[in-house]
Amino acid sequence: MATKGFVIYLLAGFSVAILSVFFVQNFKNGDFEPKLYQSSNLLQRPVGSEDKVWPELEFSWRIVLATVIGFLGSACGTVGGVGGGGIFVPMLTLLLGFDTKSAAAISKCMIMGASASSVWYNLRVPHPCREAPILDYDLALLFQPMLMLGITVGVSLSVVFPYWLITVLIIILFMGTSSRSFFKAIEMWKEETVLKKSMKEVPVNSRGELVIDTIYEPLVPKEEKTALEIFKFNLNLKRILVLFIVWFVFLLLQVFKASEFLNIHNDLVACTPLYWVLNLIQFPAALAVFGYECVKLYKESKKRRLEGNRESICEADIQWTATNLIFCALCGILGGTVGGLLGSGGGFILGPLLLEIGVIPQVASATATFVMMFSSSLSVVEFYLLKRFPIPYALYLMSVSIVAGFWGQCFIRKLIAILKRASIIVFILSGVIFASALTMGVIGIEKSIRMIHNHEFMGFLDFCSSQ
């Protein structure tokens, strides 16, 4: 019921925000003209397009402060499974002085570095509850194609949506997901408190196993896996290869669309047949992987239900019916679209979504970070080909994020082992999203007010002329 209410909140908020654009752009000289749109305005471009602003990489208090913020943002972002792009972009623009587009590009580099080191750490960690990899490859294969498909759609729409509308959508989305995650964390904290009280009344041995008499150990001791055995168990090369193929197909299409050869020869013009062919090819590639995984989950789930086995086939605590699979597909596309539209890469959607469908926090964090590694690396390659970021700055901040991602996972896992509270991950997730809502919301509101004072265009742009 709570999930349905949250979805209704997002749909209602987004609908009102988008429809309000028609109200805003129908004001002319203080008078309201009752028209759906003005065709002449739709073809206008916004005033004051941003130029590249790349400050020099030199030692100063700004770079020291940016290093600290980047380190903490990467550590907390990877633990929560959201990346931290909502913190990095304001830091790069306000503190270091980058233009918005370059800041977004460097932010993707930082997210890629942090998520890669986080995945490397998680591959060496056993599942906290059962004999299964801590990375849920079934969920990764289910959501990754839809997220990447949605991200490409969202990036295309981002040049059409007015800046102030994107700011409103950021506030609606981030405040909703952060509050929902916060209440879920409180519920988990209460459940963990009850569980810890009950565990005090039952004796356990050195491995945390329940025993009747603490004097005696089990006759057959549980075999402990070495670090290499855990790594091999968590590493599923066949599934990773499928994910890499999907990533590579999307990369080739994006590179082909953005290639200098096509731009020079004017072969690829927006809304031409070649343009639509390149965009539509992405759908079969994504739907093929998603459909295969849907059929697999549906058949296994149906087989277990008929056998009376209630055990979940993956970490999600739901029945994989056709309705639930369609819902996950829509959430994946919507999450990717919103992520591409807002420049967040989809992590702010996937992390809370995995928790919502019953995935435990440790696996939700590891799986969301794993999927985010693919989406962020795709963006980094695109930005590199477009020469959208200075390499020295990107390498330095990415190095900081790599160390932070590994350290953050190590620190939080040890803290969870000591306190026996996995809800810490959900609290961190909620805090990162809320901090991103504040920083990006404040910057967006300030820039929108400046655009109003400069009488810049505040409505939708034409899709074909804006690509």
Asked if the model's pLDDT at residue 40 lies above 50, the reply is no
pLDDT value, residue 26 = 56
Lowest mean pLDDT among 24-38, 389-403, 419-433: 24-38
pLDDT of res. 200: 63
Range of the domain at 137: 58-199+240-466
Is 36 part of a structural domain of the chain?
Answer: no
- Specify if 232 maps to a domain: no
Evaluate whether 272 touches 170 at the Cβ level (below 8 Å): no
Where is average pLDDT lowest: 37-46, 315-324, 440-449? 37-46
Distance of CA 73 to the CA centre of its chain: 14
| 153 band by pLDDT with thresholds 50, 70 and 90 | confident
Asked if pLDDT for residue 260 goes beyond 60, the answer is no
Per-residue pLDDT at 2: 58
Q: Are 332 and 143 in contact (CB under 8 A)?
A: yes
pLDDT for residue 351: 79
Q: What pLDDT is stored for residue 399 in this prediction?
A: 92
Nearest CA to 53 out of 101, 95, 86, 85 is that of 101
Contact 350, 92 (CB under 8 A): no
* Cα distances (Å, whole numbers) of residue 332 to 138, 146, 201, 353, 452: 14, 5, 43, 9, 34
Residue 44, pLDDT score: 36
213 in any annotated domain: no
Which helix (H) or strand (E) segment is 57 a member of? Answer: none
Q: Is residue 65 part of a domain?
A: yes
Give the model's pLDDT for residue 182: 87
Helix 347-356 to helix 163-200 angle (10° resolution) is 40
Q: Kindly indicate the confidence band of residue 243, based on its pLDDT and cuts at 50, 70 and 90.
A: confident
Distance CA 177, CA 347 (A): 11
**Distance in angstroms (rounded) separating the CA atoms of residues 104 and 85:** 8
Task: Report d(CA 273, CA 258) in Å as an integer.
Answer: 16
Q: CB–CB of 324/4 below 8 Å?
A: no
The predicted pLDDT at position 403 comes to 92
Confidence category of residue 150, pLDDT binned at 50, 70, 90 = confident
| One-letter amino acid for residue 169 of the chain | L
Which among 362, 245, 363, 350 is positioned nearest to 314, based on CA atoms? 363
Q: Count the domains in the chain.
A: 1
Whole-number mean pLDDT of the chain? 76
pLDDT single digits (tens) 120-135: 988 888 887 777 788 8
What percent of the chain has pLDDT above 70? 78
- Residues 152-170 as b/e (b if ≥16 CB within 10 A, e otherwise) read bbbbbbbebbbbbbbbbbb
Between CA 244 and CA 93 the distance in angstroms is: 32
For 125-144, the DSSP string reads S--SSSSS-SS-HHHHHHHH
Measured over the CA atoms of residue 370, residue 401, residue 432 and residue 125, the dihedral's sign is positive
**Is the model's pLDDT at 24 over the cut of 70?**
no
One DSSP character per residue, 133-191 reads -SS-HHHHHHHHHHHHHHHHHHHHHHTTS-HHHHHHHHHHHHHHHHHHHHHHHHHHHHH
Domain for residue 234, yes or no? no
Report which of residues 183 and 305 the model is more confident about. Answer: 183
Q: Is pLDDT of 465 > 80?
A: no
Instruction: Quote the tokens at residue 96.
Output: 């270091």
347 within domain boundaries: yes
Q: Look at residue 221 and tell me whether its pLDDT is greater than 60.
A: no
Residue 440, pLDDT above cutoff 60? yes
210 in a structural domain: no
Question: What is the average per-residue pLDDT within 23-28?
Answer: 57
Integer Cα distance of 252 and 266 in angstroms: 19
Cβ–Cβ under 8 Å, residues 158 and 166: yes
User: Residue 255 above 70 pLDDT?
Assistant: yes
pLDDT at 51: 63
Whether 214 is in a domain gets the answer no
Residue 23: its pLDDT value, please?
67
